[in-house]
Amino acid sequence: MLQAFDIIGPIMIGPSSSHTAGAVRIGKYARSILGTTPVSALIRFSGSFAKTYKGHGTDKAVIAGILGMETDDERIRTSFDVAEEEGLKFTFEETEIDGAHPNTAEIILKDAAGKEALVQGASIGGGNIIINRINDTVTSISGKSDTLIVPHEDVPGMVAVVSNILAGNGVNIHGFSLCRDHKGGTAVMTIEIDGNIDESISKVILEQPNILAATVLKAI
């Protein structure tokens, strides 16, 4: 079912929901994946983003998101100046990512301690986004709801283990995807849920055999 946001888009600073609002949200999601304050950012634009990012302000928008701004923040237009004030160094590159959506950005962030996060996302229209890669993990995340990411060993019954824990804690799943590198290797569940999820649930999941990690990503 379409919601109002899907039709009219977010309240935002223009000129384009795809090239500005979507880019802000991708940048903000990358910051949330890093989980700390970034001091450097490498942004690779692919497809339409690579061709038009300067004219459409996509560069300023993605930096605004990395700084934690919302889509309607008046400072988006001066985000480069804000980045300098906050000590964020950034570089843009134009590239071509095979099979990627035309409006795709790959962002690599680092914090002062050297922690690094890679996030690839696409702006699909109306300010909506899809995060399709986090570090080495293929994902399909809209960013509209809390999301649980669970890498695990590819053995039978893992989906049931995790879903039973969520059901036992009153958590309702509305989106689910599973990918793996090869049979018997490492698989990753991406689970989007209704409402908020208590991060303590991830600790319970992590205690289960064959679970490698359990991370809760909050909606943006």
Domain boundaries, the chain: 4-135, 147-217
Strands 103-111 and 89-95, by their bridges, are unpaired
Residue 29's pLDDT band (cuts 50, 70, 90): very high
Six token digits for residue 7: 């039709």
Residue 11's pLDDT band (cuts 50, 70, 90): very low
Rounded Cα distance between 213 and 11, Å, is 35
Rounded Cα distance between 217 and 213, Å, is 13
Give the full edge-to-edge strand order of the sheet including 116-125.
89-95, 38-47, 103-111, 116-125, 128-134, 137-141
Q: Tell me which residue of 6, 4, 9, 107 sits closest to 59, measured CA to CA.
A: 107
Residue 196's pLDDT band (cuts 50, 70, 90): confident
In the chain, what's the furthest Cα-to-Cα distance? 52
pLDDT of residue 16: 54
Q: Per residue in 128-157, pLDDT tens?
A: 999 999 988 888 898 889 999 999 999 999
Q: Candidates 3.30.1330.90, 3.40.640.10, 3.30.2130.10, 3.40.190.10; correct CATH number of 4-135?
A: 3.30.1330.90
Strands 38-47 and 89-95, by their bridges, are parallel
Q: Is pLDDT at 211 greater than 80 in this prediction?
A: yes
Residues 62-81, mean pLDDT to the nearest whole number: 95
* Number of Cβ within a 10 Å radius of residue 209: 10
* Contact criterion met (CB below 8 Å) for 58 and 77: no
26: Cβ–Cβ under 8 A, 6 or more apart, which residues? 62, 65, 105, 107, 119, 121, 122, 123, 129, 131
- Tokens 């690094």 locate to 116
Residues 100-126, mean pLDDT to the nearest whole number: 95
3-state helix, strand, coil in the chain (%, to 5): 35, 35, 35
pLDDT of residue 215: 86
Q: Candidates 3.30.70.260, 3.40.190.10, 1.10.10.10, 3.40.50.920; correct CATH number of 147-217?
A: 3.30.70.260
Task: Give exposure, 118-141, as e/b (b: 16+ Cβ within 10 Å).
Answer: bbbbbbbebbbbbbbbbeebebeb
DSSP 80-118: HHHHHHHT-EEEEEEE--TT--SEEEEEEEEETT--EEE
Q: Note the pTM of the prediction, 2 decimals.
A: 0.81
